[in-house]
Amino acid sequence: MGGDELTHSNFDFSGFDVPELKAVTLAASGQPDETRAVGEGKAGKSGKAGKAGKSRNRKTNPSKKGANVAKDSKNKKERIGLFTPMGLRDVTVRNRIWLPPMCTYSAFARDGKPTPFHYQHYVSRAFGGFGLIIAEATAVTPEGRISPCDVGLWEDGQIDAWRWIVDGIRNAGAVPAVQLNHAGRKASTGCFAVGYEGQSVPQEAGGWPTVAPSAIEFGGLNKPRELSVDEIHGIVGAFAAAAGRAVAAGFQAIEIHAAHGYLISEFLDPLCNERTDEYGGDLEGRARFLLEVVDAVRATIPEGMPVLVRISATDWAAGGWDLDQTIVVAKMLKEHGVDLVDVSTGGIMAGVSIPIKANYQVPFSEQVRLKAEVPTTAVGLITKPKQANKIVARGEADAVEIGRAALRDPYWPLRAANKLGVPATEAPYQPQYIRGAY
């Protein structure tokens, strides 16, 4: 970026810092609203006001259409819904609507530092009411980037670039998490800002040679080099160091990316791990790298900080990675101090057919949750509030993640609250936005 441009480092945000700012409600504020325009009514005894209040009353009337989560949770205390807070170690997440990690390929300076774009992207979704916000795949080494424009935490200079974003998320009442990743054989690929989308970026355009458990390429990407055992140990250390930097930046949870065909899932899958040493062979060998990463991260971060692992529950290929192996590994993860498994699928093998439709990954989450007895999240074409609420209420997942639907609607949780009959006074509105409540 040019020297005159506004960045996190040259803009003074101190005047905007409101520590401990929580989403407040009209009822909780207890203040008569003297600026309310004529015709919008006045705050009455109930604290509900005029047109906006009537609209909320209508929408929250349990006799009208829509599941009334608030009423349900009063009547049946044990009933869990989207807006039931969730505890993970020392962290309480305000609801079960989470933002999954989604690459934005927007570290345009190619230095791994998030930018004002990332601030706006993540903080607006925190304003929109998401409970946990998992920042996109963040590289633990420069060679571990999916694209040249990925963000990273591979050096200390990146910590400050994250801190203002993390503070912004926290001040908006959401919990900031970061997904740590090494892209393995799927590193050095193109993106909208670089070109070469879906291909390997040539070295003359800023690409680099890739590494993997075995020298087997993915689709049409460049062939990776097999990692030595020393290099594997080095990458385990890089995950731990990046986790330490995440703590320094103020993140409250770490997600380890063990899904979608990036380095850790390449080790897990027998179709791309042909090693004959201790990091290959049977499931114990193939899971060794993941468990070493988990142990190293756990040993680096505070005891009260949750660790999540995102896993592909199947590679959708015959003879490859499947749900049974996922369940075995999920049990291992639990024993190694992982607090939640974020259940996705696919991305490991090219050319497979995936039965994509609404909820298509939910049964995997349900099975992992039941059989490994570990909390899970479900993700993948969950787009509608009632659909999402059912997944949580039925115990198919402890939380849902809303991905692409959140790219088009950062305020998805506030809309969901309205659809589900949660009173605006109990929905995660920012105080500045309560006047615009549904």
Ligand X SMILES: Cc1cc2nc3c(=O)[nH]c(=O)nc-3n(C[C@H](O)[C@H](O)[C@H](O)COP(=O)(O)O)c2cc1C
Binding footprint of ligand X on the chain (CB under 6 A): 100-103, 136-137, 179, 257, 259-260, 310, 344, 379-382, 402-405
Contact 90, 424 (CB under 8 A): no
Contact 102, 95 (CB under 8 A): no
CA distance 76 to 347: 40
The total number of residues shown for the chain amounts to: 438
Residue (of 322, 338, 402, 411) closest to 373 by Cα position: 338
Which of 262, 279, 411, 438 is labelled catalytic? 262
CA distance 175 to 126: 8
262 carries an active-site annotation: yes
Nearest to ligand X of 105, 429 (CB atom)? 105
CA distance 215 to 273: 9
- C-alpha to C-alpha distances, 420 to 56, 80, 136, 217, 233, nearest whole angstrom: 12, 13, 29, 46, 48
Coil, helix or strand at residue 235: helix
Residue (of 143, 169, 142, 144) closest to 157 by Cα position: 142
CA distance 14 to 11: 9
Instruction: Identify the residue whose tokens are 């001040």.
Output: 171
Half-sphere exposure of 246 (CA within 13 A, CB side): 35
Q: Which 8-state DSSP code applies to residue 317?
A: S
Contact 419, 14 (CB under 8 A): no
Angle at 295 between CA 290 and CA 298, to 5 degrees: 120
Q: 402 — alpha (psi -120 to 50), left (phi > 0) or beta?
A: beta
Residues tagged active-site: 262
